Amino acid sequence: MENNIRKAVESMEVRDICVRFRRKTVLDHVSFEAASGDCVGILGINGSGKSTLLSVLAGILKPASGSFTCSGHEMMRERRLFPRMIAYLPQENPLMEDLSALDNLKLWYGKNIPAGLPVLDQLLLREMLTQKVRDLSGGMKRRLSIACAVCENQRIMILDEPTSSLDLHQKEIIRRYILSYTERGGIAVMSTHDEQEIRMCTSLYYLSGSTLCRINADEAVKKLKEG
């Protein structure tokens, strides 16, 4: 049944999400929608609440109020579905540094990694599988982290600054993967400060003063350049 749930995700709807830390309101009635094939960009200055919103969508943080629905499943009430339906890439490195890339994958996929696992080729990981994570570059670690995150073939992928501080080659590999993911019918939601990533999004939202508003790519790039 869970396999059917994963394959059936065609839309997501975020409604009136509120998050408060003590007396401070970080997210105030935040709402947006996305459908199969969409790439949603969440923009804003550092500290605006982007990571908080993505943590809610990943099931890491429980909001004070609001709803998050994935193809009819109310995720706040069916929290066991989060790991089956949502792949999450946090800003911080989630990998085990002393293990090889392959052993990290085994922690997520189980001991038997399919020889033809597509994500290994899509993210150009095969040549580094025997290397210790501590010996990998930042971009290699980021690519490996994405491969670990999508271990359940989830149809929604949440990415927090997926290419921040990476070189152009590593950025391009990850961008191509995100585009191929949405072209296969997945939904990507990412925070970003990167102009190319902004322009590849199908919808963009700007988070400021705890509220979310929709903007177009030109407005987003202008805000990015203004800092």
Whole-number Å distance between alpha carbons of 147 and 141: 10
Q: What is the pLDDT of residue 140?
A: 96
Domain ranges of the chain: 2-226
User: Which amino acid belongs to residue 3?
Assistant: N
Q: What is the pLDDT of residue 9?
A: 60
- Environment class of 117 (CB within 10 Å of its CB; exposed 0-12, middle 13-18, buried 19+): middle
Whole-number Å distance between alpha carbons of 44 and 12: 21
Q: What is the pLDDT of residue 71?
A: 86
Q: How many CB atoms lie within 10 A of CB 88?
A: 22
Q: What is the pLDDT of residue 13?
A: 97
CATH classification for the domain delimited by 2-226, as one of 3.40.50.720, 3.40.50.920, 3.40.190.10, 3.40.50.300: 3.40.50.300
Q: Is 59 in a helix, a strand, or coil?
A: coil
Q: What is the pLDDT of residue 5?
A: 36
Q: What is the pLDDT of residue 6?
A: 47
Cα→Cα distances 67→14, 41, 54, 76, 201, Å: 6, 20, 14, 7, 23
Whole-number Å distance between alpha carbons of 186 and 35: 8
Q: Which residues of the chain have pLDDT under 50?
A: 1-6
Q: Could you give the residue ranges of the DSSP H alpha helices within the chain? A: 2-8, 50-57, 82-85, 101-109, 118-122, 138-149, 168-183, 195-200, 217-226
Q: What is the pLDDT of residue 223?
A: 83
Q: What is the pLDDT of residue 208?
A: 92
DSSP 100: B
Q: Is 213 in a helix, a strand, or coil?
A: strand
Cα→Cα distances 8→11, 22, 156, Å: 9, 38, 11
